[in-house]
Amino acid sequence: MNKTKKNPQQLGDSARTFAVRLMQFLVVPTFVLDAQGRVLIWNRACETLTGLPAREVVGTKNHWRGFYETPRPCLADLIVEGRTDELDGLYVSHGDPNAMTTFGVHAENWCRMPRRDLEFCLAIDAGPIYDDNGELLAVVETLRDISAEKRSQAALERLVSVDGLTGVLNRRGFDDRLALEWERGLPQGGAITLLMVDVDHFKSFNDHFGHQAGDGCLQRIAGILGEAVLRPHDVVARYGGEEFAIILPGADAAGAAQVAARIGKLLQAAAIPCSPSGGGGHVTVSVGGATLVPSAATSFAELIRHADAALYSAKSAGRKRYVAWQGQAPVVPQPGGGPPATP
C-alpha cells in the first residue's frame, strides 16, 4: 500500500499543532506569551484556575485580569520585557534573576482571582523559548496552587511562636518579632519602645492559690496587656515565667507611659485578689520601659538590656510602678507626678 509522504513544511505544521494541543490539555495551568507579550495559549487548566476564558485573553495583553484587579506584570511579562530586576517589588519570594538560565525563573505570590473571588498562593515558573539565532520566540508560564501548603506552614509557625498558656507570643516569637521591627526601623529612623512587665510577688500568689490559679492569673494578665495596646502592630509576648514584654514600634517615651497607665487602670478594674481572704489587695505589676532609635551602632539587645534595667529599678523601688530608661539611667517617677507610678 502506498503511503503519502509529508514534506518538511507539513511535518513542521503537524508538530506545532500537536504541541499546541498538548499544552491546551495539560493538567498544569499554563499560558504562553509571544515576543511582544501577547497571549498565544491560555490552556483549559488556566481557565479553571482563574475563571477567565481563553477567548477573552488570546491575542491580547490582558492576561493580568486572571490574577489581579488592576494591571500589573506577570512573571512571563518581566522576562519578555527584560524587567526581572523588579521581582523584589512584585513577588513574595523568587529565585535569583541574575542566575536565570534558559529554564527561566521561579517565584511565589498570593493572588486574588477577580473572576473567582478566591485567594491562592501560586508557585510560578516562567521560561523563555529562543530560536536558533538566540531571538526570543515566546515565554511559557506555568502555575501551581500551593495555598494549602502555605496556610499549613503559617499555622505551624504560629504554633511554634505562640505561648500555649496565654495565647500571646512566646520567647521565640518575641525574639523574631523584635529583630524584624529593628530591621524595619533601620532605614526609617523611627523609635522602638520596649516594655518589660513583671507580675509582683507571683511566687506568693502561687503559694496561696496553687499553680492552676497561677496559670489563670497569667492568662488574665496577658489579656489585660493585650487590651492596653491599641495599635494593630503592637506586640505582647510572654518573656518567661511571670514576665511579659510589649513591643511598641514607632512609639516614644511618652507613648510608652500612656500604655503603662492603661495597664494600671485595667489591672485596677480587674481587681485580681492576691491573698486567700480577698481583703489583702490585688495583683499588681512592675513595668520597665526603654526607647531607642535603631542604628548600625546599636542593637535590639541593648533595648532589652535597658528595659530590663528599668524593670529592676521599678522592683527595687517597691514594685507596683513604672520606670522609664532615659539616657544613661532609669528614671523613677516621683509620687504624684510624672508617668504612672502604680501599674
| Architecture of the domain spanning 162-331 | 2-Layer Sandwich (3.30)
Tell me the per-residue pLDDT of 65-86, one tens digit each, with 9 for 90 and over.
999 999 999 999 999 999 998 9
Superfamily of domain 8-151: PAS domain (3.30.450.20)
Whole-angstrom Cα Rg for the chain: 30
Is the model more confident about 247 or about 17?
247
Q: 170 is written with which cell numbers?
A: 512566646
Q: What is the mean pLDDT of the chain?
A: 87
Handedness of CA 174, 176, 181, 185 (dihedral sign): positive
pLDDT at 197 over 90: yes
CA dist., res. 129 & res. 32, Å (int): 10
- Cα separation, 36 vs 131, in Å, equals 15
Confidence of residue 329 (pLDDT cuts 50, 70, 90): low
pLDDT digits (tens, 9 = 90+) for 142-183: 999 999 998 888 777 777 889 999 999 999 999 999 998 998
- What is the secondary structure of 261-291 as a DSSP string? HHHHHHHHHH--B-STTS-S-B--EEEEEEE
> pLDDT at residue 117 above 80?
yes
CA dist., res. 57 & res. 67, Å (int)? 12
The three three-digit cell numbers of residue 277, written as one number: 481572704
Which residues belong to CATH 3.30.70.270 in the chain? 162-331
